[in-house]
Amino acid sequence: MKITVIQGPNLNMLGLREQNIYGPMKLEDIHTQMENYAKQSNVEVEFFQSNLEGEIIDKIQECLGESQGIIINPAAYTHTSIAIRDAIKAVQIPTIEVHISNIYAREEFRQKSLIAPVCAGQISGFGPFSYHLAMVSMVQILSEIKAMQEAQKQQEPKQ
Ligand code: DQA
């Protein structure tokens, strides 16, 4: 089981960027915490960050046949990118959208996500802990899918 974590533009600046909103934690420290949880849960995790919309779309497409779950913080593309939304819809891999800040408590232009309707769920506003909540939720989704697949297999007629 593999989960791919995709980080959008400017998230490589965490720790330096608008600390009053995003806090002091660096992206690599968030990833270390996620990796620890993944290890405990026996899942593989891969991390990817890009400031470019096309590279994020390529990464989502590469998840086909490689990853069973996607956790994505599309950052500013949340509010603008039909192309990222279409890529998530196309691959049909369970996806969770994450935000560090509560996008619904901020400027009006941040209060709309084009991505959320094609995701299993959205986690927004818990600081860096949002990522941990997303990992816990994704591990749960994957174990439910696995249990369903096993139950279906048992119902198949034996040849
Ligand atoms: C963000 C919220 C977005 O509106 C913003 O553009 C970001 C970060 C968040 O994690 O809170 O870059 O996705």
Between CA 31 and CA 11 the distance in angstroms is 12
99 given a catalytic annotation: yes
Measured from the CB, is residue 10 less than 6 Å from ligand 1? yes
Cα 33–chain centre separation? 15
Nearest 5°: phi and psi at 141? -60, -45
Q: What are 2-26's pLDDT values in tens digits?
A: 999 999 999 999 999 999 999 999 9
Maximum CA extent, the chain: 63
Indicate the burial class of 130 (C-beta count within 10 angstroms; 0-12, 13-18, 19 or more): buried
Q: What is the CATH number of the domain that holds 104?
A: 3.40.50.9100
Measured from the CB, is residue 110 less than 6 Å from ligand 1? yes
Q: What are 66-99's pLDDT values in tens digits?
A: 999 999 999 999 999 999 999 999 999 999 999 9
132 given a catalytic annotation: no
Provide the residue range defining the domain that includes 84: 2-155
Catalytic residue among 77, 99, 131, 132: 99
Its pTM surpasses 0.85: yes
Collapse the DSSP code of 56 into the 3-class scheme (helix H, G, I; strand E, B; otherwise coil) and give the result.
Answer: helix
Measured from the CB, is residue 100 less than 6 Å from ligand 1? yes
Distances (CA, A) of 6 to 108, 121, 154: 25, 15, 35
Number of neighbours of residue 87 by Cβ within 10 angstroms: 23
Position 156 confidence tier, pLDDT thresholds 50, 70, 90: confident
| Structural domains in the chain (count) | 1
pLDDT of 159 above 70: no
